Amino acid sequence: MKKLKYLLLIFTSILLLNSCYTLGTIGAYYCANYDCNLKKTKIGDPGGLEKIFTEKNSSQEIKNYFEAIKKRELEKYQLKTRIGENVIVNLPKSFILKKYFGETYYLYDEERKIGFYVIITDVRTKGHFQNLREIFEGTYYMKYKNLTNDKEVHTFISEDEKSIIKIKKITQNYYATVDETDLSKEIKDIYKYLLENL
């Protein structure tokens, strides 16, 4: 009787292990073919502009939108931080800064309900963007080469040439940035315009 229970336990273990392996394989196949990101980017989130471009795949529509943005009057926008600093930036009319997390914000077009991955952040806070100051000043442990400096917007490329970012220093502690890696020319042009005019 003891041997029978032991054999039954082994058989059940093999069956369950095989089932888990099969489910994992099917899940991996599905995700590879149907893009199962857990967090889908919405148009109003940072990166919403990229989502529209990939969904519609219309570079002419993006160019027309860019021309419409350039026609909007630039307005002063005051960002009130949690520690009482006043950070003033120029944004096209109907644009605001939406809170991303902590002391990090992204540009948002209220008229078209589109989020832009142009990030403004306090580099003193811990998180994803805390290294901007070091990259900007050339003291970051991973070497970035300063390619250009156009209208106070610096373009940096990583040593391994896999990452291209633009950084603009707004105040001593607030920096704006865009990761240009894998962006289309049309979207890069919009982001460059927004950064230059902040």
- Measure the N-to-C terminal CA separation of the chain; round to a whole number of Å: 79
Backbone Cα Rg of the chain: 23
Asked if residue 41 is part of any domain, the answer here is no
Q: Does residue 99 sit within a domain?
A: yes
Query: CA–CA separation, 173 vs 108, rounded Å?
Result: 22
Does residue 133 sit in helix, strand or coil?
helix
What's the confidence (pLDDT) of residue 50? 78
Average pLDDT along the chain, 198 residues, taken 10 residues at a time: 65 55 40 43 72 69 89 90 82 91 88 90 78 83 82 88 89 89 87 92
Does 112 share its domain with 78? yes
- Look at residues 176, 182, 179 and name the one whose alpha carbon lies nearest to residue 196: 176
Q: Which residues contact 127 (CB under 8 A, 6 or more apart)?
A: 101, 102, 104, 121
Q: Establish if 131 belongs to a structural domain.
A: yes
| Residue 171 in domain | yes
> Could you tell me the residue range of the domain that residue 171 belongs to?
48-196
Same domain, 160 and 191: yes
> What is the pLDDT at residue 129?
74
Answer whether residue 132 is part of any domain.
yes
Do residue 64 and residue 147 come from a single domain? yes
Length of the chain in residues, anyone? 198
Please check whether residue 43 lies inside any domain of the structure.
Answer: no
Please check whether residue 121 is in contact with residue 173, taking contact to mean a CB–CB distance below 8 angstroms.
no
CA atoms within 13 A on the CB side of 167: 27
Alpha-carbon torsion (150, 160, 170, 47), positive or negative: positive
The whole-number pLDDT of residue 30 equals 37
Structurally, the chain folds into a number of domains equal to: 2
Q: Residue 42 domain-assigned?
A: no
